[in-house]
Amino acid sequence: MVLAVKAENLWIGYMDEEENILWAVRGISIEVLEREIYCLVGESGCGKSTLGNAIVGILPPYSVTKGRLRVFNREVIVEDEKHYEEIRGKLVTLIPQNPGKALNPYLTISEQFYYVFNSLYELNKENSLKKARELLGIVGLDPEQVLDSYPHELSGGMQQRTAIALALATGAKIVVADEPTSALDANLRLQLLKLLLRLKNELGLTIIMITHDILSATRICDRVAVMYAGKIVEETSTREIIENPLHPYTKMLFDAVPILGVKKKLVSYLGEPPRPGEYIKGCQFSKRCPKAMDICREKEPEIIEINGHRVACWLYNVEGGEK
Ligand SMILES: Nc1ncnc2c1ncn2[C@@H]1O[C@H](COP(=O)(O)OP(=O)(O)OP(=O)(O)O)[C@@H](O)[C@H]1O
């Protein structure tokens, strides 16, 4: 199996004006396989986009890194050095949260395709148009309806699909989709998830999907990683996370959403995850965790693997003593 992305003890922080580093990603190790849909799920501020931006190569200049990040066979982060020259926009691309913002409001869609194709592959207008038609067709749009339009003339769903087609125009094999469904209604959300699945199958893409919505995650992803306060707290196959979630935080995410065909009382979860700079001693979830023990308030648990299911929680760690 080919690894598309490998992070080893990766730390990513932002330097503030006083030169303090606020760590948004804290010691993450993950392996994303080629042609899988891997989902990063968690509440706002847990570091999902920071990790996604590191994979795409769009961290701001004042970001600080430690550890390693590899994209296919290229080391893109080695401790505090970043090397994105060969991959940014070529091997990896981003489907952004808000397509309206990603599309240039002053150019028609065909001009935007020409810009990408010409700057990356020096295509002329005719060939660029031909390729654009193909890609728009793949994402389920009628090229004739879209090519001469400005972004504001398209519906939200059409803008999203156009943004996906433009992202694919780079020829990238890894796509980071950051909250791709957040601006869409339920029907369009489902259609978009199906489209991502189809693109993975038809174009052999590797997709890293970032979402706060655990249900969207389970709809199309092969594996799910749950993030909390800059760390992965649980990672396993989608089936396993639905049938046997281990971490109390993952259970809380599931308790808060309705599941089709299952009658249950929805529980809203209290409190908020800590922000960088507000990290507490011990497990970062301990303040909100109904199962917190003394050790949870003392020491942060390492992630351990139990039959291919990774979890960072003292309930499952022998050192913690309960199970
Ligand atoms: N460019 C930046 N400069 C400074 N701090 C940042 C920057 N981007 C993110 N952060 C901070 O890093 C932390 C993690 O943010 P990040 O956007 O990665 O989380 P997230 O889980 O994707 O949340 P959201 O869904 O709200 O985007 C937050 O506290 C955020 O304020």
All domains in the chain, ordered by first residue? 3-91+172-248 (3.40.50.300)
47 lines ligand 1 (CB under 6 A): yes
Q: Is 115 in the pocket of ligand 1 (CB under 6 A)?
A: no
Distance in Å, CA 44 to ligand 1 centroid: 8
- Report, as an integer, the average pLDDT of 107-127: 95
Task: Confirm or reject: Cβ of 276 under 6 Å from ligand 1.
Answer: yes
Our mutation pick for probing the ligand 1 site, out of 49, 51, 233, counting the most ligand atoms within 8 A of Cβ, is 49
Query: pLDDT tens across 229-246, in order?
Result: 999 999 999 999 999 999
User: Number of C-alpha atoms within 13 angstroms, CB side, residue 158?
Assistant: 15
* Closest alpha carbon to 274 in 284, 265, 262: 284
pLDDT in tens, 150-173: 999 999 889 989 999 999 999 999
Element (H, E) at 64: strand 63-71
Question: Who has greater pLDDT, 261 or 32?
Answer: 32
**CA 223 to ligand 1 center in whole angstroms:** 23
Give the residue ranges of DSSP H helices in 75-230: 99-102, 109-121, 125-138, 143-146, 156-168, 186-203, 214-220
Residue-wise pLDDT for 270-301, tens only, equals 788 898 888 999 999 999 999 999 999 999 99
Cα(50) to ligand 1 centroid in Å equals: 6
Q: What is the pLDDT of residues 43-65, one digit of tens each?
A: 999 999 999 999 999 999 999 99
27-48 pLDDT tens trace = 999 999 999 999 999 999 999 9
3-state SS assignment for residue 265? coil
Query: How high is the mean pLDDT of the chain?
Result: 91
Q: Whose CA is nearest to atom 4 of ligand 1?
A: 14
The pLDDT score that the predictor gives to residue 323 is 46
**Ligand 1 in contact with 61 (CB < 6 A)?**
no
14 ligand 1 Cβ < 6 A: yes
- What ligand 1 atom has the least distance to the C-alpha of 59? 1
